Structure 1
Amino acid sequence: MTRMERFTEIIGKERLDGFLVTNHIDIRYLTGFTGDAGMLWVEKDRAVFITDFRYETQSKDEVGDKAEIYITSPDKNYFTILSEQKVFENKKLVGFDENSVNYILYRKLSGIFRDVVWIPLSNPLSELRAVKDTDEINKIARAVDIAIESLIDALPLLRPGITEKEFAAELEYRMKRKGSEKPSFDTIVASGWRAALPHGIASDKVIEAGEMVTVDFGAIYDGYSSDLTRTFFIGKPDDKFKKIYGIVLDAHLAAADKAKAGMTGKGIDGIARKIIEDAGYGEYFGHGLGHGIGLVVHDFPGVNTRNEKPILENSVITIEPGIYIPDWGGIRIEDDFIVKENGTEWLSSELPKELSDIIIPVG
């Protein structure tokens, strides 16, 4: 069954006559179109894709026969084409994603197509996108390998005197040389006290001896992302760093060992969170344990206290516990996993994480 066919099953279960897809990631998932402008109409026996003249050739190559293709022009916008193609004729209940249709677009749609009852759904493709097929897993695995190989190549440069931005640039350069389209997000390099910032984008700060350095990075291969984090220490770590690193590592390994399909995101999160809380650092772990990765770096499913739905087999997730203490620093360890029926399959096992592996000698 194709992705489009599985989506039409969802549309039917929601008792809708059709669905207007506006999220470009969902459009790519359903059709293969990699551009960032378009609308996709989906009903049981018909799909209509509309984009602008910039993507005329590209849409024919990528969408092919998955949908009828129409191109806007100065005298024909998206709404004109929707009307001309009578996509809403004899349609009463039409779905849209409330997370991707803004108020302006909603007013235009409801104002032009007055006979339609617009039904909001929240992330209707989330379960489809969460479960990865073999091709998707292979692409994520390649993105993971590119990221790991690049960090290992760049690591000799992580020394006192280099700035966070310089190291980020060296890492990103190597990822591109090895086949990454671009970083899957702005590379995080946060040293010293800045390691307490979970999303401390690389700055002009000079990395010094005696500091921890958190590096959070990822590659994109054929549209699919990886997401990895290691915290290094430049020089000889003190007892506090070693203690907290051990707590984070224990939490990471426990969650990776016990996670499996059928557990909720909240349940997996709780495995790591309990270890950190029992060690007295619960207040310093303020984010979810992880998230899905795929066509976006923060994909479905969520691995956090808010997700009480079961994680499905062949979801690909991150596990990334962390402890962040203001004016001291922070430690995070992140790896990528395939969730299986009886456990997890480690995609990033080639990137070491033991305390001895992350100490960078100086002098």
Structure 2
Amino acid sequence: MYSHLYRLEKLREKVFAEKAQVAIISLPENISYFTGYRGPGLLIVTREKVELYVPVLEYWRAQECLTESDVQDLVELIAYTTYRLPDIGDILDRVVRAKPADIIAEKASKATKVLYDNMPLEAYLKLSSKKLVSISDTIAYWRSIKEDWEIERIVQAARISMQAVLATIDYISYGTSETEAIGYYMYEACIRGASSQAFPPIIAFNENTVYPHAVPSPDNVVVQGSPILIDVGVFYEGYCSDMTRSYQIGGRDSEYRRVFEAVYEALVSAIDRIEPGVAAKEVDEVARRVLRKYGLSKYFVHSLGHGIGLQVHEKPRLSNDSQDRLEKNMVVTVEPGVYIPRKFGVRLEEMVVVTSRGAKILTKGLPIEFD
């Protein structure tokens, strides 16, 4: 099922192709992509071997993650500690006393060319005499094209969020505060299998819906006619979901309905344009063109969407300045929004996977409209 071994070999091929001596990977999500272990550490890949350095308190969890992946025979696991633990060597295969920056400097000391993804500043300065080449964009592109087992995890993360949102909408009533609704949603997501939230949940009422990243308040409560915006996502086995719904409690008035229908048309039109080979910025423009028709484009103040996977924001970017092109098995969000100051905001967001026949919506189980 897992393909970490293939990914590590591809990274090693990159080391050879770039005529480098070592690749140093420090972003936790990238370490997870290559090994299955997600947490603080350093992945050191040379032409001869692969070493994973983790803090001593993460050693046993990392060991378990490697055992469950297909790279346990390739990766040497080493613990590091910045303070003296005199007896720890009795229970660990290997342990060193050093800071991450020192480990990086030591591993790159004989190299003339170093590949890296997200090097700590202290280590970067130590290696200023080396030829340093960032491969962040390369890894981000590799990660953007999902394997089937990754899509299955994203689908399950979406399913958990959808069920929790439906339960939360049933819970919200007159007098419910934003913080109460968020607490209820998080509980519902966790009992359904979420390991954590993919980002701080946004459940906004009334004028707070105007802010795309609204901060919840215990004093902002639902009243008759309250606009409501719910933007949430969870982690499931390392992968994220992200979805948004907007509605007005007690029925929509004419202005809210006009904006809602325009945003919905922008959403559907953009999704219909998604297929392999299409420029991501073209999909963004489709949504803006619809909102422009209704005189609402000036209220659409963010990009249309983003890739999603090990992180909630990944490549590709669906924005008007994106250089990305969509490819089969990319998973992206499509989230047009209109935010009218001192009134209300409406955002609708679907998760879709790019297939050879277009976009397949992963969040269909969550209705677009609510009474």
Normalised TM-score (structure 1): 0.90
3-state SS of paired residue (1:124): helix
Q: Which amino acid aligns with 2:295?
A: G
Q: 2:205 aligns with which of 191, 203, 221?
A: 191
- 1:43 is aligned to 46
- 2:355 is aligned to 340
Q: 1:25 aligns with which of 20, 24, 29?
A: 29
CA distance in structure 2 between the aligned counterparts of 1:341 and 1:15, rounded to whole angstroms? 36
Which ranges of structure 1 fall in alignment gaps of 5 or more residues? Answer: none
Write the mapping of 1:132-143 to structure 2, written as runs, cut at 5 A.
132-143=146-157
- 1:101 is aligned to 119
- 1:57 is aligned to 60
Write the mapping of 1:50-199 to structure 2, written as runs, cut at 5 A.
50-63=53-66, 64-73=72-81, 74=83, 76-77=97-98, 78=100, 81=103, 87-88=107-108, 90-97=110-117, 100-110=118-128, 114=129, 116-199=130-213
- 2:266 is aligned to 251
CA distance in structure 2 between the aligned counterparts of 1:88 and 1:231, rounded to whole angstroms? 51
Contact 1:186 1:201 in 2 (8 A): no
Cα gap change, 1:8 to 1:61, in 2 (>3 Å):
same
3-state SS of paired residue (1:232): strand
What's the offset of the Cα at 1:81?
A: 4.7
Contact 1:270 1:305 in 2 (8 A): yes
3-state SS of paired residue (2:203): strand
CA distance in structure 1 between the aligned counterparts of 2:102 and 2:204, rounded to whole angstroms? 50
Contact 1:95 1:121 in 2 (8 A): yes
Q: Which amino acid aligns with 1:202?
A: P
Write the mapping of 1:247-286 to structure 2, written as runs, cut at 5 A.
247-286=262-301
What's the offset of the Cα at 1:90?
A: 4.8
CA distance in structure 1 between the aligned counterparts of 2:15 and 2:254, rounded to whole angstroms? 57
3-state SS of paired residue (2:247): strand
Contact 1:72 1:81 in 2 (8 A): no
* 1:307-347 residue CA offsets vs partner (Å, 9 max, x unmatched): 12212210101000000111011100001110112201111
Q: 2:230 aligns with which of 215, 218, 233?
A: 215
3-state SS of paired residue (2:138): coil
Contact 2:26 2:119 in 1 (8 A): yes
Q: 2:336 aligns with which of 321, 324, 328?
A: 321
Contact 1:187 1:201 in 2 (8 A): no
Cα gap change, 1:16 to 1:249, in 2 (>3 Å):
same
In the alignment of these two chains, the number of paired residues is 347
What's the offset of the Cα at 1:154?
A: 2.1
Contact 1:189 1:215 in 2 (8 A): yes
Percentage of matched positions with identical amino acids: 27
* 1:115-149 residue CA offsets vs partner (Å, 9 max, x unmatched): x3222344331111101111110000000001111
CA distance in structure 2 between the aligned counterparts of 1:198 and 1:269, rounded to whole angstroms? 17
CA distance in structure 2 between the aligned counterparts of 1:82 and 1:198, rounded to whole angstroms? 39
Cα gap change, 1:197 to 1:80, in 2 (>3 Å):
closer
3-state SS of paired residue (1:291): strand
What's the offset of the Cα at 1:102?
A: 4.1
Contact 1:161 1:207 in 2 (8 A): yes
CA distance in structure 1 between the aligned counterparts of 2:195 and 2:52, rounded to whole angstroms? 25
CA distance in structure 1 between the aligned counterparts of 2:185 and 2:62, rounded to whole angstroms? 33
* 1:205-234 residue CA offsets vs partner (Å, 9 max, x unmatched): 112111110000112110111001000111
Write the mapping of 1:218-237 to structure 2, written as runs, cut at 5 A.
218-237=233-252
Q: Which amino acid aligns with 2:113?
A: L
CA distance in structure 1 between the aligned counterparts of 2:75 and 2:104, rounded to whole angstroms? 14
CA distance in structure 1 between the aligned counterparts of 2:120 and 2:111, rounded to whole angstroms? 22
Contact 2:274 2:326 in 1 (8 A): no
* RMSD (CA atoms): 1.8
Q: Which amino acid aligns with 1:142?
A: Q
What's the offset of the Cα at 1:348?
A: 0.7
* 1:51-105 residue CA offsets vs partner (Å, 9 max, x unmatched): 121022222222323422211133621455557xx743652110222xx334333
Normalised TM-score (structure 2): 0.88
Write the mapping of 1:1-16 to structure 2, written as runs, cut at 5 A.
2-16=6-20
